[in-house]
Amino acid sequence: MSNSDKYLPRDSFVPQGEELEPGQWIRVNHDSPDCTGDSQSIKIERKMNGNLTAYCFRCGKRGFDSKDVVRYHKLKEASTRGRRGYIIPNDCDYRSREWPPKVRSQVSRYGLEDKDYSNFRIGYSPSLRRLVLPVFDKEGLAFYQTKRMFDDDENKAKYVTYRNRDAAMVINTLNSDTIVIVEDLISAIKCGKLIASIPLFGNCISDIQLNAIRNYKKFIIFMDDDNRLVKLNQQKICQELNQFGKCRIITGVNKDPKECSLSQLEELLL
């Protein structure tokens, strides 16, 4: 069964649900060619924690919308100034087609589309000669990272993170009750094409991140687990998440999700 067979499309419950206060619910029609009969079969409920759930009593499809999900259209208008004063370099070019060929070829192996980079405001800074990855949460820009692109970059660090705070960046392009937990932003964007995802910006989970995902029912941990420390941290995260739902760890892939093809991710995640 594919995701679209199991889940209600977002537009069948999210717009109506936006009006609801915590604790309120409504019933609406499920206007779908494959779900006809009695009216008002979908129950949409705003949970006390702010999340939205939906269920069609006729066809059994479900919907879920986390209150912590980062919305693309808000990123487009987002400030380049973080809440604690970090400012994204102003020479950032968000048009990935215009990036230097070396940079384009480096990022091309992730298999993302140009619009993915512009949606998430990922840019290339010619002065830094690094990719700039802004990190948003539901309140806006939280911090940003830069990623090494050139072998002769004097800054040897693969990632440099400009932050003094923590952030939960839940990405959800389809509604699902499963979330995948990954290490880095590009992996989260890649997995986010299939199910909800959250990048940890490392391999430990913070309280803020844990809190943002605790209402999902199933958790999948997918990290590059080629060393003991990562394996150990995965176990710790899994234990914490098992309090809230079922958690499984993907092992033996030995690469980041961003290095996997979409069809490989489908097999591993869905």
User: Which residues would be at the binding site for Zn ion (CB under 5 A)?
Assistant: 30, 35, 56, 58-59
**To the nearest whole angstrom, how small is the minimum distance from the Cβ of residue 193 to Zn ion?**
25
Is the CB of residue 120 less than 8 Å from the CB of residue 88? no
**To the nearest whole angstrom, how small is the minimum distance from the Cβ of residue 99 to Zn ion?**
44
How far is it, in rounded angstroms, from Cα 91 to Cα 200?
27
Q: In what order do the strands lie in the sheet with 246-249?
A: 196-199, 178-182, 218-221, 246-249
Choose between 27 and 248: whose C-beta lies nearer to Zn ion. Answer: 27
Choose between 64 and 201: whose C-beta lies nearer to Zn ion. Answer: 64
**To the nearest whole angstrom, how small is the minimum distance from the Cβ of residue 140 to Zn ion?**
36
Q: Is the dihedral of CA 219, 224, 226, 229 positive or negative?
A: negative
**φ, ψ dihedrals at 134, nearest 5°:** -75, 145
**To the nearest whole angstrom, how small is the minimum distance from the Cβ of residue 46 to Zn ion?**
20
**Strand pairing report for 159-162 and 178-182:** unpaired
Instruction: Give SS3 for 42.
Output: strand
Choose between 30 and 46: whose C-beta lies nearer to Zn ion. Answer: 30
Choose between 6 and 71: whose C-beta lies nearer to Zn ion. Answer: 6
Is the CB of residue 219 less than 8 Å from the CB of residue 258? no
**To the nearest whole angstrom, how small is the minimum distance from the Cβ of residue 12 to Zn ion?**
8
CB atoms within 10 A of CB 97: 9
Choose between 35 and 210: whose C-beta lies nearer to Zn ion. Answer: 35
